[in-house]
Structure 1
Amino acid sequence: MLRHDRRVAVFLAALLPVFGLSAKPQDPAELERDLAQLRAQIERIQARIDADLEQRENQQRALADAERALADAGKARHETRRRLAQTAGDIETLEGRIDSTSASVDDIGERLSAQLRLIHHQGTPSGLQLLLNQQDPRRLRRHLAYHGHLSRQRLALIEDLQGLQQSLIEDRRDLERELARLAELEASQIETAARIEQERAKRDRALREIDERIASGSERIDELCRDAEELEALIEELAQALKAVPMDVEVPSILDLAGTLAPPLEGRLVQSFGDPRGGEMRWAGWLMEAPAGAQVRAIAHGRVAYADWLRGYGMLAIIDHGDGVMSLYGHNETLLKDVGSWVNPGDVIASVGRSGGADRDALYFEIRRDGEPVDPSDWLTDP
């Protein structure tokens, strides 16, 4: 109510000269007419602002939906690229097995050919030959029978290997068809993401146009305060919910790692902890500029406590590291880890974007201890 009264007082101060009002005595009837005109003008302005605020709320909800859809599309494409790489690797492995089987078939075939040539060269001896050569006919016949048995074994082995080779070739064809299908799926996902991005950009432009009509310094500060209050409430809720959740493995306390942790990405630091943000507000973390789609990595072992859109922060991921420490990653294009997922230092958890009304592709990063923001430079190595 106080803010509303203050805004009305500003309107009155701005509009008094327009209607020629002054401190000089005026005719009561004339004053009443002037005041009526003033009230009507205030009502029109207020109605326009209220309409803009309502439209802004609608556009912001639509923007949130578009950015969630874009994040989902990015996650799906990430999974498709992973499957493409895996399928290509499977094909390469099959190629090696096919080549190895083919080499085995060739080797056994050469041995069989040599053996058949030997048998052909020796021929089937006649009785006279056996007599002249003074050889034991039973021993020679056993020798020839052994060659025949070995030949049949090698022929059977060649047939088995050729069957295996044909099966591997069929598997390769299946994988190649799957590779083609995944490539088509990725192309479709790229088109879908492009359409969603166009819609997101359209919503973002509409929101900015509305902001230009209604924004003022004090309103912007009020909005930042509301965003901060929402984040504070979320952090408090998460902290309470995670108090009883133990770590999944024995790892060093993050408190012992302060000053040695790697930054979440390589990017230009455009806002630092404590920098002025408007009015009495200051930055509670870092704003790190990086190309859209750049990989965002977890700074330490922990559990994903939040992964969704939040006013002012866009697609936001929050990781609980235990001992009252959380790290926050905002304005992302895509979130790649779900709530409850355990992550290790360096795991890719998101990709850089400009969700949540950011004016550039950048990561907003915070570290909180017992719910209070702390300077990331005390925890991380240089970005």
Structure 2
Amino acid sequence: MKRLALIFALLAAPAFAQSDPTETARVAMEELEAASEALQSAERSSDRVKALTQTVQAYESGLAALREGLRQARVREAAIQGVFEAESERLARLLGVLQSIEAAPEPHLLLHPEGPIGTARTGMILSEVTPGLNREAQRLRAALQEVALLRALQESAVGTLEEGLRGAQEARTALSQAISNRTDLPKRFIADEDAMANLVATADTLESFASGLMSATVEDTSISIAQPDFTEARGTLELPVLGRVVRAVNEADSAGVRRPGWVIATRPLTLVTLPWPATIRYLGPLLDYGLVAVVEPGEDYLMVLAGLGELYGEVGDVLPGGAAIGLMDGPDAQDDQAVLISNPSASGAEASESLYLELRHEGEPVDPAQWFAVTVD
């Protein structure tokens, strides 16, 4: 009895109660509904690109919260099921005792083979045991009700997740179209296509590419654009993608390769945005980095975002902070839903894409940890 009570107490401990899966999932559902409404409003917005960017981000954060709520719900259900399996024999005895007490005629409960003394002793024991049995029965009933609630939550959440995925895809498609139709962006540079192609073909390292990048563009001196001082952003920048840093500066990967930047794990097709206003210096494939965006957030600074699946904009465009620069790689639109909804109980396995972020000052790499308000494990 004490052991069973201890296990139920552990399940109700702060370690399990600190993050309520039902509340997490409910909040996420509200976020997805708000994102759906924002998508409709974005269709009528004068600044559709900005509105749609915010809508995609709302869907991504809502879907992430909902997946986390589902993961917590399944973990919690598994914990309760584990208790039932580990204590199946004891629970069976408990149920048997409760049923026998309930089914036995009251006169039989008052008699004992050893006579009045045995009956008195039995009465004293039952008076002590019965409240304990009732408490355990109540805990068991509460656990069973919680399992039923968690299962109902998961069933309803999956439907919301499917709708959210469709909405996210619609928002991504609308955003791509809106960006392609955008004509009001200021332009600071005009690319020399021949020089840029030659630079890409001859660059053997990211460092050599970055050092030669400035000469591959021609400045349009007729345009003067005021931008905030990038040095003021030190320690305040947010990650350009919804994810987490999994490899710090000069930390070796599985192949032993070390790079002077961050590797950020994220989900397929996640939106990539600029953490600070910047001018696009390069967009396209580069070495073994995949699709790369190189932007200039401040004088003598370059930010490299590598590993994307789709790029937005043109060289020379001046983008505001928070503007979309591309999407992570991922499946085709028709397969998007199947991939993103798979295995909602997992957490790290879903972050199958990697964004490489590198920051350079006067051609030399600097540690992003000095600039981003992110804790690296």
TM-score category of the 2 structures, normalised to the smaller one = 0.3 to 0.5
* TM-score, structure 1 normalization: 0.39
In our comparison, the structure showing a higher alpha carbon Rg is 1
Q: By percentage of residues, which structure has more helix?
A: 1
